[in-house]
Amino acid sequence: MNLTHSRRKFFAGAAASVAGLTVARSALAALPEPVIQTSVETAPPLVPTTGRPYNPVVTLNGWTLPWRMNNGVKEFHLIAEPVVREVAPGFKVNMWGYNGQSPGPTIEVVEGDRVRIFVTNKLPEHTTIHWHGQRLPSGMDGVGGLTQPAIPAGKTFVYEFEARRPGTFMYHPHADEMVQMAMGMMGMWVTHPKARHPHISDVDRDFCFLLNAFDVEPGTRTPKVNTMTDFNIWCWNSRVFPAIDTLNVRKNDRVRIRIGNLTMTNHPIHLHGHEFLVTGTDGGPTPPGTRWYEVTTDVAVGQMRQIELIADEEGDWAMHCHKSHHTMNAMGHTVPTMIGVDHRGLIRKIQKVAPDYMLMGERGMADMGTMQMPIPDNTAPMMTGTGQFGPLEMGGMFSVFKVRKDQKPGDYSDPGPYNFPPGTVAREYTGPLAAPARTSTDDHHANARAPQTKPTETVLNARKPSPHASH
């Protein structure tokens, strides 16, 4: 898991900084040691060794936050702090996050658990944490100014409540949230059922990730926090394709995928090769009678979606947002459309003034994948990634759902490219091409082009209607 422990010294008055519910001084005498993670690889599931058992989730390009048990209470420690996130190899962004990462670590608990979360603020300004979708005391809801005083820079607050219902949730600030969420402050929360639930199935693999977006000018490192709609870095867990890890499963596994959206727009998430059921939303598990099979589910702003499927089709299957510009990386949104523009004789003239000038987009944008033109030092190519048949021409919110019959249970490693059985790959047709036969439709069109005689004029006689006195 490559977790590194960092011992932190806190202010003497940190134990007295409490959000809402009063906690005994003995409980605050020694805070849980914070765990920091800097790796961008998907960590293996954190199997619980204390507390009640559950089937853990796997966070895509993320990890689960360890805890300690203290007199029957699960205690976590979150550090709100500036972080540097590797969005793609060679592309690092200055963000704000938790415990070394953006998004922060996933928090996993069991229905009925008493949880205590210490939050230390190492940001340059105040913050809070809102536990999105949770049933809890109002004073623990994390809205600065409304339900609690904001956590000042350098201080530690504590939240304590019971995880009352199972489901998929999020956490994020409700203090200067336009800035703090635009900088990457968010994380997943999963509450597992304490016993068999009529609407929650046992699954073999359970994945989760957040949809987030940034506006990072190519060649820079810090997001524009005042952007409302014009984002150019569309991410899953603050990563872009091809740097998003693949979802690797065993054939016939029952798979659950939990998705949360903290961007400023909706995302229709589409999975190839399989149908799935939406088995959970913000409100918890959906009753089986309300479910129907989909291949795309729309995740609106601030929403959660939980989908389940049987992975019974072996192969490499695309999974992505179906908004086409969300499967691109930086630079593409401001490139003008040049399709069909006649550049004959123009290129040479321009190159006399600008020797490095290249024509882009005359026949579409796929040419850019082969140009290998220089890009700014700190950004990601617009359409990139390579498969066994050539360029994928994708970026942003895109990954691959890999189904293999020989993937071992509990093995989440990438099995590599799929070995296609002979005769199962689309290929060029090299046989004879038959001449098209004339059809009755062709005759009809020919007749339609023939000169028509002038139609006979028809005289219409109108009379004034009688009064409707009898109605």
The per-residue pLDDT for range 67-125, each reduced to its tens digit, is: 999 999 999 999 999 999 999 999 999 999 999 999 999 999 999 999 999 999 999 99
CA distances 356 to 6, 90, 329, 371, Å, are 49, 24, 23, 13
DSSP 75-137: EEEEEEEEEEEEEETTEEEEEEEETTBSS--BEEEETT-EEEEEEEE-SSS-B--EEET----
Domains, in order of start, for the chain: 4-197 (2.60.40.420), 233-370+378-404 (2.60.40.420)
> Residue 438: what pLDDT?
73
The per-residue pLDDT for range 328-373, each reduced to its tens digit, is: 888 655 666 666 666 667 777 777 787 766 666 566 566 655 555 6
Q: Which residue has the higher pLDDT, 378 or 153?
A: 153
- When pLDDT is cut at 50, 70 and 90, the band that residue 456 belongs to is low
Query: Do the bridges between strand 205-214 and strand 254-261 make them parallel or antiparallel, or are there none, so unpaired?
Result: parallel
pTM above 0.85, yes or no: no
> Residue 360: what pLDDT?
64
The per-residue pLDDT for range 238-283, each reduced to its tens digit, is: 999 999 999 999 999 999 999 999 999 999 999 999 999 999 998 8
| Rg, the chain, Cα only | 29
Round the average pLDDT of the chain to a whole number and report it.
86
CB atoms within 10 A of CB 279: 22
Query: Do the bridges between strand 304-310 and strand 296-299 make them parallel or antiparallel, or are there none, so unpaired?
Result: unpaired
pLDDT average, residue stretch 127-138: 97
Of residues 56, 34, 40, 47, the one with CA closest to residue 118 = 34
In this model, does residue 5 exceed pLDDT 50?
no
> Residue 285: what pLDDT?
95
> Residue 468: what pLDDT?
47
Would you give the distance in Å from CA 388 to the centre of its chain? Answer: 25
